[in-house]
């Protein structure tokens, strides 16, 4: 089993979206997966409940979690994805402590990149890998951030998640069709973990 924490100290960076779409990509690739919603706002849980009510349930379980449950994650799935809250040091530390990998979603903008560095420092460069999200392809800000990360020795996923209106509309539904780059991210994680 591989435990993946989706974490960024800043809110609104696409953590829940990344957790659900990455879980969907793993599921579609034939893996068992569970999402653990550590965010007190419960966005991943709400997404799953809304999808269920709409008759389009997510194809994997989403469970609520807390500091205590992170210590007792059972090894009964190929991948467990921890959807971390912003700014809660206890939960973030607990999640990072049990994670094999910490995915740090970030949109290439000033405030987001500042908090991203803090998250990478907490996770450590050996666990952290940055996922560029909501990217305008070939934008100078994306290239500048990628270059800055490379200079600091921070790992970054190959490719980025483009800004797509379709992704925003998936909230509360089971994603369908192309996952706009999350399939590639799942494959890169598998390759890195030698699964």
Q: Is residue 147 part of a domain?
A: yes
Pseudo-torsion of CA 60, 10, 116, 42, nearest 10°? -10
Q: Tell me the C-alpha to C-alpha distance, in Å, between residue 130 and each of 9, 166, 168.
A: 13, 22, 20
What domain range includes position 114? 2-190
Are 93 and 120 spatial neighbours (Cβ–Cβ below 8 Å)?
no
* Cα–Cα distance, 36 to 48 (Å, whole number): 11
Q: Is residue 135 part of a domain?
A: yes
Are 85 and 19 spatial neighbours (Cβ–Cβ below 8 Å)?
no
Q: Is residue 181 part of a domain?
A: yes
Q: What is the DSSP letter of 84?
A: P
pLDDT of residue 177: 82
Q: Is residue 154 part of a domain?
A: yes
How many folded domains does the chain comprise?
1
Q: Is residue 176 part of a domain?
A: yes
**Below-50 pLDDT ranges, the chain:** 195
- Taking alpha carbons only, the member of 133, 190, 122 closest to residue 156 is 133
Q: Is residue 195 part of a domain?
A: no
CATH number at residue 70: 3.40.50.300
């Amino acid at each position: 089993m591989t435990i993946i924490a989706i974490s960024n100290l800043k809110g609104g960076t696409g953590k829940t979206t990344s957790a659900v779409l990455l879980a969907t990509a793993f599921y579609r690739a034939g893996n068992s997966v569970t999402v653990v919603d550590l965010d007190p706002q419960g966005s991943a849980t709400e997404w799953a409940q809304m999808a269920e009510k709409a008759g389009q349930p997510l194809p994997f379980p989403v469970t609520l979690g807390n500091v205590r449950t992170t210590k007792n994650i059972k090894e009964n799935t190929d991948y467990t994805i921890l959807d971390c809250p912003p700014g809660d040091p206890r939960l973030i530390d607990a999640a990072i402590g049990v994670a094999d990998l910490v995915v740090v979603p970030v949109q290439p903008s000033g405030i987001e990149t500042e908090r991203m560095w803090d998250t990478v420092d907490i996770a450590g460069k050996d666990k952290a890998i940055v996922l560029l999200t909501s990217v305008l392809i070939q934008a100078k800000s994306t290239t500048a951030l990628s270059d800055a990360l490379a200079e600091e020795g921070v790992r970054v996923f190959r490719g980025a998640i483009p800004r797509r209106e379709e992704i925003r509309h998936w909230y509360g539904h089971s994603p369908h069709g192309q996952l706009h780059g999350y399939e590639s991210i799942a494959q890169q994680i598998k390759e890195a973990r030698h699964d």
